[in-house]
Structure 1
Amino acid sequence: MAPTNTLEDPRVASALDRMFRHAEQDEATSRRIREARPQGFAPHDPQEQADAKAEVYMPISAQGGRLLYNLVRAARPATVVEFGTSFGISTLHLAAAVRDNGTGRVISTELSTAKAAAARRTFTETGLDDLITVLEGDARDTLAAVAEPADFVLLDGWKDLCLPVLRILEPGLAPGTLVVADDVDLEDLAPYLDYVRDPGNGYQSVTFPVEDGMEISCRL
C-alpha cells in the first residue's frame, strides 16, 4: 500500500492549485489598494489593513508549504498554532500533515472576517475542517485565551506582530518546539529575527532559503 499524503488528495490539490493561481494577482491587487489609499494605513491599526487587503492572498510559496508539511510530519505536534490564516494555503499544508500523522489539531487566527469565512469554506471542501479551528480577531487576544500550549508554531501574519504573538505563546513552549516565521526579507520582521537569533532568548535559529526565506527556531 502506498504511503498516505493528503496533499495529493484531489480535493486538497485542487484547492491549493486554485488559490495559488488567484495569488498570482496579488501584486496587481496590492497596487490597486495602494493607489486607493495614498495616505497609507494608520501605523497601529492592523484591523484597517486586514479589511483593506481582504482580497490579497499573501501566501507562502509552494515549496514553503511542503517544508511545513515535512516539519509537522516529523515533529508530530499535538497542537499546531498558526498566526495568519489568510485564505488557508499554509493552513491546508499544516492540516494535511496532522491528518497523515493521525493525531493533532490546527488552531489558526485571522483578523479579516471575509478571509476567515472563505478559508472555512475551503477547509470544508477539502475534508480537513474537522482538524482546523479558525479564531477570528486580533491574535494577541484570541491566542491569549487558548488553554493548551502550542507544540508547533507558524508566524505568517502581520510581520510587526510576530514578536508580540510569540511572546504571548512563549510561556507554554516546551523545549524542542519549532517556531517558523515566513518572509525573513521583510523589514517589519527584523525585531522578531533579532529576538530569536539572540541565544540569550532561548532559541537556536536558522534561516531556510525558500522564496523570501523562512526562519526556523527551536525552543531550547
Structure 2
Amino acid sequence: MTQTSTLQDPRVVTALDAMFARAAQDEVTGARIEAARPGGFAPSTPQELADANAEVYMPISAEGGKLLYSLIRAARPATVVEFGTSFGISTLYLAAAVRDNGSGRVISSELSADKIAAARRTFAETGLDDLITVLEGDARETLAALDGPVDFLLLDGWKDLCLPVLRLLEPRLAPGTLVVTDDVDLPALAPCLDHVRDPRNGYESVTFPVEDGMEISCRL
C-alpha cells in the first residue's frame, strides 16, 4: 500500500500554501518598512530588527523544506533545533518529518512575539503543535538552557547570529549530527560558512544548490 507523508495532510498543505502566498509579498512589505525608516536599521539590536520585520516571512523555499523533511526522515533525530521560527514554514517541514518518524521533538527559537503567536496558531491548526516548542527571545539565551543533546540543527535566523548560535550548541552536537544553514548566498553568513567549511573545526560540509543555497555540514 502506498504511504503518504504528513506533508500531504490537507491541513499542512493549506497552511503552507497560504504562508508561501503571503511570503511572496515580502519584497513589497520590506520596501514599505524601509521607506518608513529613512535612517535605515543601523544600529539596531536583533530584537529591534525582529520587531521592525514582524510582517516579513523570510521563508525557506518549498524545495528546501522538502530537503529538510528528507534529511530528518533519514537521520531520525530525537531533538531537532531550529534557530529562526519566523511564521513557522520551515518548522512545519521539520515537525512533519518528526511525526512521520514516529518519535522526536522540534525546539525552535524566535524573537518576534507577533510571529510566535501566528506560528503557534498554525501549528495548532495543522495538528503538529504537540511536537513543537517555540522559545521566545534571543536564541543565544533561550537555546543555552536546552537539556540534552541536539541531534539536528537548522540555522535560519539572523545571519550574523548563526555562528554564535552554532558555537553555543557545538558541545551538544554528537558525531554524525547534521547542521543545515540556509541562504548561503547572503554575505552576512560568511563567518558561519567559513567555520563549517574549515576541516579544523570538525565538520564535513557541502553546499546544496536549492534556491539561495543550503549548507549541509556533518559533525565529525
Using the size of structure 1 for normalisation, the TM-score is 0.99
The letter of the residue matching 1:173 is L
Map of 1:160 onto structure 2: 160
Counterpart amino acid of residue 52 in structure 2: A
Residues 110, 134 of structure 1: 8 Å contact kept = yes
Residues 1:140 and 2:177 aligned together:
no
Letter in 2 for 1:192: C
**Unaligned 5+ runs, structure 1:** none
Report the residue type matching 1:97 in the other structure: A
Question: 1:151 aligns to what?
Answer: 151
Give the distance between the partners of 1:119 and 1:215, measured in 2 at CA: 25
Q: Identity of counterpart residues, as a percentage?
A: 79
CA distance in 1: counterparts of 2:60 and 2:201, whole angstroms: 27
- 1:185-196 to structure 2, matched below 5 A, reads 185-196=185-196
SS at match of 1:147: coil
Task: State the secondary structure of the residue aligned to 1:177.
Answer: strand
Query: For the residues of structure 2 that align with 1:141 and 1:43, how far apart are their CA atoms?
Result: 21
Give the SS at the match of 2:55.
Answer: coil
1:68 Cα deviation after fit? 0.3
- The alignment covers a number of residue pairs equal to 220
Deviation, 1:184, is: 0.3
Q: Is the 8 A contact 1:4 1:100 kept in 2?
A: no
1:155-180: CA deviation from partner (whole Å, max 9, x where unpaired): 00000000000001000100000000
1:115 aligns with 2:115: yes
Once the two structures are overlaid, the 10-residue window that deviates more, 36-45 or 203-212, is 36-45
**What residue is the counterpart of 1:178 in the other structure?**
178
Give 5+ residue unaligned stretches, structure 2.
none
TM-superposed deviation, 1:148: 1.7
Aligned partner of 2:30 in structure 1 is 30
- For residues 47 and 21 of structure 1, the distance between their equivalents in structure 2, rounded to whole angstroms, comes to 26
Give the secondary-structure state (helix, strand or coil) at the position aligned to 1:153.
strand
TM-score, normalised with respect to structure 2: 0.99
Q: How does 1:191-206 map to 2 (within 5 A)?
A: 191-206=191-206
> How many angstroms does 1:44 deviate by?
5.2
Find the aligned partners of 2:149 and 2:108 in 1 and give their Cα distance: 14
3-state SS of 1:2 partner: coil
How well do the aligned residues superpose, as a CA RMSD in angstroms? 0.7
The aligned residue for residue 79 of structure 1 is 79
CA displacement, residues 103-157 of structure 1 (integer Å, 9 cap, x when unaligned): 1000000000000000000000000000000000000000001112110000000
Return the offset for 1:42. Answer: 3.3
Counterpart residue type for residue 203 of structure 2: Y
